[in-house]
Chains A and B, each alone.
Chain A
Amino acid sequence: MPEFDAVVVGAGPAGSAAALVLARAGRSVALVERGPFPGAKNMYGGVVYGRILDALVPQWWEEVPFERWVTRRATMVLTGTQSLTIDFRTQSWGTPPYNGCTTFRSEFDHWLAGKAVDAGATLITSTTATSLLRDGRGHIAGVRTDRDDGDLNGRVVIACDGVNSFLAKEAGLYHHPGAEHVTLGAKEVLALPREEIERRFGLTGDEGADFEIIGCTGDVPGGGFVYTNRDTVAVGVVLHLPALAASRKRPEQFIADLKAHPSIAPLLSGGELKEYSAHLIPEGGYDAMPELVTDGMLVAGDAAGLCLAAGIWLEGVNFAIGSGAAAGRAAAAALRRGDTSAGGLAQYRRDLERSFVLKDHKKLRRAPGFVLNPRTQQAYPKMACDLVEQLFTVRNPEPKAGGLRAAWRELRRSDVRVRDAARDAWTALRTYG
C-alpha cells in the first residue's frame, strides 16, 4: 500500500500549487487526478491573474501557455436594446510582468501540474478518489480510489477536488451544501481569424480583451462575458442555479440571447462554434465557505468555495493557487512537527486570513448578495442606460435637464424604492469603497 507524506486530490491550480510547495519542501506527494491529464476536466470563463505565480515560478510569463495578455477591460451594463460600457485600456498590462492572460485550462493546468512533477510530486492520472480513509483515531489518513488496490495513504490529505468536493462534504465540512451558493457557467468558443479578432476588439500582437457584462440574463441573476483568445473568442453566461432551474429557459438560450445583443453581435458574427462547455462556480463567498481544516485534511480552491465573484472582480484561479500554496506550506510545517491534527494544521486558516485569499473575501463578503439581487441585475442597469440616454438625447427646443435631476427622475420612474436604492448604495460603498 503506497504511503505518502501527503495526498493531494485534484491536479487543478489549487492541487498543483499545493503539491509543488510540498515537493519543494522535500515531502513525498501524490497528486491524484481523475482526468487522463491535468486540466482535462477544467474550463472557466476567465482570466488568470498571474501575480500569485511570481513566488512559485519566477518569470512564469516566459513559459506559461497563454492565449492573450489582457490589456483591455470593459465592464458593460446591458438592457435588451442599450449598453453602457466602462472601457479601460492600459499598455502596461501588455508587458512583463503582465496583469492577466486568457488561456485554456487544459493547457494552463497541465503546465502548472508539470511544475509540481518537476519538483518531485508523483502525478497519478485517470484515478478518481472515491472516499476518505481514516486511522484508528478517526483522523483522515488518505483516500480510497477507483483503482484496484487503490488506497493511497498519506499523513495529510489536501482536497482540491473542485466545486462539488465530495471529499469535503464526506468530511462534514460543508454547512451550506446545495444550489443556493452556486452558479452555472456555460460558454461557447467561436473561431475567428486572428486578424479579425484584433480588428474587432482593437488589439495588436498578443494583446487581449476581457468584457464583463451585467444585465444580460433577464430574470435569472447572473452575468455574461466575452474573452479573446488567439484565434477564438469565448462568450458565455453565469447563471444563479436555483433561479435557472425555475426559469424554464435553458442555458444555451441565455448565450444565444447575449450573442444576439446589438452591442455583442458585431464582435462575434461569423464565428464558427468550436466548443460548448459548462462548469459550476462556487460564488457564495466568505459566508458560504466550508470549514477549511479538519484532522488530517485541508481544503483549497473551488472545493473551499474560494472563487471571488464580486461583480467588477471575477477571479478564481489566483485564489486557487494562493490557497493551494498556503495549504502546501501548512501541511509541510505540520509534517515537520509530526502533528497533522486540526490543531497542527491550523496555520492554514491563519495564513489565508493574512493573505489576499481571505482578506479579499472578507472585505467583499456582501458582494455576492449585492450583485445577484434583482435591483442590481435589472433595475439599476436600466436606470443607468436610461439616464445616459436622457442626457445624450437632444430635445430641442427643450433645454437640457441637469444630471442629478435626470437621475432622480429615473429613480422615481423605476419601481425601485428610494429606501432600497439608498441601502444598496450604502452596501456598495461599504463593499467596494
Chain B
Amino acid sequence: MATVDFRVAETAHITVDGDQCRGCTTRACVTACPADLFVPTSDGGILFNYEQCFECGTCYLVCNTEGAITWRYPEGGFGVVFRRA
C-alpha cells in the first residue's frame, strides 16, 4: 500500500528454527502475525518472510517454543516506514 513502504534489508531480522516448528501444535504466529508473514507448509513446517514486517513483535511474544523465533529490530534505516495516508 502506498503509505506503508518497506525498505528491505539484505539480512533478515526474523529467523525461524524450522525443526522446532515442526513439532508445534499451536501455530500462534500463523494466527496472530498481523502482516500474515507465517505460512504453514504441508510437511508441518513454517514458511516465513521478513520483507513486509510491521516490526510489532507479536510473533516472538506469542511463540511458546523457546528459541524457535528469533527477532530483533532490522538494521537502522531499513524495514517498515509509515507515512501520512
Contact = CB atoms under 8 A, between A and B. Distances in A.
Contact of A278 (B3, B34, B75): B34
Contacts of B32: 184, 241, 244-245, 250-251
Pick from B32, B77, B79 the residue with the most CB of A within 10 Å: B32
Contacts of A189: 3, 85
B70 to A, nearest CB: 12
A341 interface: no
Contact of B34 (A42, A184, A242): A184
Given A245-B32, A273-B1, A41 B55 contact: yes
A232 B7 CA distance: 25
B56 A184 contact: yes
Contacts of A126: 76-77
Contacts of B75: 128, 146
A191 B77 contact: no
Contacts, number: 121
Chain B residues touching A, range: 20 to 34
Given A147-B76, A164-B57, A280-B61, A40 B81 contact: yes
Interface in A132-162: 145-147
A165 to B, nearest CB: 10
Interface stretch (A100-108, A198-206, A293-301): A100-108
Nearest to A243: B32
Interface of A: 34-36, 39-43, 104-107, 125-128, 130, 145-147, 163-164, 166, 178-179, 182, 184, 186, 189, 191, 229, 232, 241-242, 244-252, 273-280
B8 interface: no
B36 to A, nearest CB: 7
Contacts of A145: 76
A128 B54 CA distance: 16
Contacts of B85: 104, 189, 191, 229, 232, 274-275
B84 A106 contact: yes
A401 B83 CA distance: 54
A274 B56 CA distance: 20
Interface string B1-29: 11110010000000000000000001011
A145 B3 CA distance: 28
Interface string B66-83: 000000111111011111
A245 B29 CA distance: 7
B49 to A, nearest CB: 16
B31 A248 contact: yes
16 contacts: A41-B55, A41-B81, A43-B82, A104-B85, A105-B82, A106-B84, A107-B84, A146-B76, A163-B57, A179-B61, A229-B85, A241-B62, A244-B32, A273-B1, A277-B80, A278-B58
Nearest to B34: A278
A36 B31 contact: no
A280 B82 CA distance: 15
Nearest to A107: B84
Contacts of B47: none
Contacts of B35: 278
A274 B58 contact: no
A6 to B, nearest CB: 19
Contact of B61 (A35, A178, A279): A178
The 3 A-B residue pairs whose C-beta atoms are closest, nearest first, are A126-B77, A278-B34, A245-B28
A278 B54 contact: yes
A163 B54 CA distance: 13
Contact of B4 (A244, A252, A275): A275
Interface string B32-54: 10111000000000000000001
A229 B62 CA distance: 32
A63 B32 CA distance: 38
B58 A241 contact: yes
B34 A186 contact: yes
